[in-house]
């Protein structure tokens, strides 16, 4: 399936931590770290033109919203919600 970001949105495939993979659920309120994920698509109106597909994005846990499509968890963010890339 091909996902295309619109306007100033960035779609990120979320990296799942080892503790989440093992089945231990940590409440969102207890998590205090930034999240990471691989950028899948960048909307045309995103101001930061350095954001590119396959970059690893770093973003705050409260940014954007999660959506699951075909078993893959994505986070839809605004371009300004991404605080750094690797």
| Token output for 61 | 């846990």
pLDDT at 14: 87
Q: Please tell me the predicted confidence (pLDDT) of residue 7.
A: 96
CATH code (residue 43): 2.30.33.40
- Within the chain, which residues score under 70 in pLDDT? 16-34
Contact between 31 and 45 (Cβ < 8 Å): no
Which residues form the domain of 65? 9-16+33-85
What's the total number of domains in the chain? 1
End-to-end CA distance of the chain: 25
**CB contact set of 38 (below 8 Å; sequence gap of 6+):** 12, 13, 15, 54, 55, 56, 57
Q: What is the pLDDT of residue 1?
A: 81
pLDDT of res. 35 = 87
pTM of the predicted protein model? 0.80
- Domain membership of residue 65 (yes or no) is yes
Beta-carbon contacts of 68 under 8 Å, excluding residues fewer than 6 positions away, are 74
- Dist. CA 76–CA 24, nearest whole Å: 24
């Amino acid at each position: 399936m091909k996902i295309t970001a619109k306007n100033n949105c960035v779609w990120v495939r979320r990296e799942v931590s080892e503790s989440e993979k093992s089945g231990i659920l940590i409440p969102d309120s207890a998590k205090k770290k930034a999240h990471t994920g691989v950028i899948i698509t960048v909307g045309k109106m995103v101001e930061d033109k350095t954001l590119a597909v396959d970059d690893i994005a770093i973003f705050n846990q409260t940014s954007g919203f999660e959506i699951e499509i075909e078993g893959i968890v994505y986070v839809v963010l605004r371009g300004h919600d991404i605080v750094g890339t690797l």
